[in-house]
Amino acid sequence: MELAVLFDMDGVIVDSNPYHKLAFETFLQRHDVFLTDDELKTRVYGRTNQEIMRFIFKDNFSPERSVVWAEEKEAIFRELYQEVSPVKGLVPFLQNLKALNIKTAVGTSAPKLNLDFIFEKTNLLQYFDALLHAGDVQYGKPNPEIYLKAAALLKINPAGCIVIEDSLPGVKAGLDAGMKVIGITTTHTIKELGNAHLVIEDFEGLTMQALLELLK
């Protein structure tokens, strides 16, 4: 069976969620809205901006306003997040995948501007065969659309794909796509990521043998 590894971006390729949290805090203060940490974890992280803004603004929501709000929040995020570096162990892991001709893709709920920003800062583009962002799908995570599209682009059966995710909606998206899922504990605890097939702290020690064991 051919194998592909599909990566979320925020919290997987880079540990950016602390900066998203700071950006949301600034954004919400400007708009006199308060969200709890639990609401951020369950209703914000891993979801598209349109879904997030619909949750935050409820009765005041409109698609047009959503675009403006999202652009405001993401501009704050990019301004705050300047020390951008890959998650520990990621680069050697990607180098190993490339050396073995294993296909890779990114499936992120972030907008294209953020995707471009992260890849410009990290210089990781050479390691990926496909990049998908929020604008490439009709439905955001936990809908499996983005991972099924990534598998189709790579011409790999979903059963041969391993998803690496940090968010609960992302884990569900990978599972509902019929894929194996590795959870990474940048955003949630091991217990919270209990639905994943394997949970890691970072990419150090994640071996090919571990990936192949998941597909057995």
- DSSP element (H, E) containing 168: helix 168-176
Percent of the chain with pLDDT over 70: 100
3-state helix vs strand vs coil in the chain, percent to 5: 50, 15, 35
- 126 with 142, same domain? yes
Res 104: pLDDT: 98
pLDDT value for 1: 66
Encode pLDDT of 55-67 as tens digits. 999 888 998 999 9
- Do 46 and 141 form a contact (C-beta atoms < 8 A)? yes
Interatomic CA distance for residues 173 and 75, integer angstroms? 27
Asked if 121 and 198 sit in the same domain, the reply is yes
For the segment 168-178, the average pLDDT, to the nearest whole number, is 97
70 and 94 both lie in a single domain? no
Asked if 34 and 97 sit in the same domain, the reply is no
Let me know whether 147 and 165 are in one domain: yes
User: Are residues 75 and 45 located together in one domain of the fold?
Assistant: yes
For the segment 78-135, what is each residue's pLDDT rounded down to a tens digit?
A: 999 999 999 999 999 999 999 999 999 999 999 999 999 999 999 999 999 999 999 9
Q: Are residues 8 and 25 in the same domain?
A: no
Longest dimension (CA), the chain: 52
Q: Is the pLDDT of residue 74 over 70?
A: yes
Percent of the chain with pLDDT over 90: 88
pLDDT of residue 40: 85
Q: Domain check: are 112 and 76 in the same one?
A: no
Looking at residue 45, its pLDDT comes to 85
Verify that 57 and 90 share a domain, yes or no. Answer: no
Q: State the average pLDDT over residues 177-199.
A: 96
For residue 61, with 0-12 CB atoms within 10 Å meaning exposed, 13-18 middle and 19 or more buried, which class applies?
middle
Question: Do 119 and 198 belong to one domain?
Answer: yes
Sequence-distant (6+) residues with CB within 8 A of 121 are 84
For 164, list phi and psi in degrees, rounded to 5.
-115, 120
Q: Which two tokens stand for residue 134?
A: 């929020």
pLDDT of res. 41: 82
Task: Read off the amino acid at residue 73.
Answer: K
**For 10-19, how does the pLDDT look when each residue is reduced to its tens digit (9 = 90+)?**
999 999 999 9
Cα separation, 121 vs 101, in Å, equals 25
Compare 71 and 216 and report the one with higher pLDDT: 71
The reported pLDDT for the residue numbered 99 is 96
| C-alpha span between 108 and 120 (Å, rounded) | 16
Number of domains into which the chain is organized: 2
Average pLDDT (5-27) is 95
| 119 and 186, same domain (yes or no) | yes
Mean pLDDT of the chain: 95
Residue span of the structural domain in which 109 resides: 4-15+85-215
Which of 45-59, 92-106, 197-211 is predicted least confidently? 45-59
Confidence check: pLDDT of 153 > 80: yes
C-alpha–C-alpha distance, residues 81 and 211, integer Å: 31
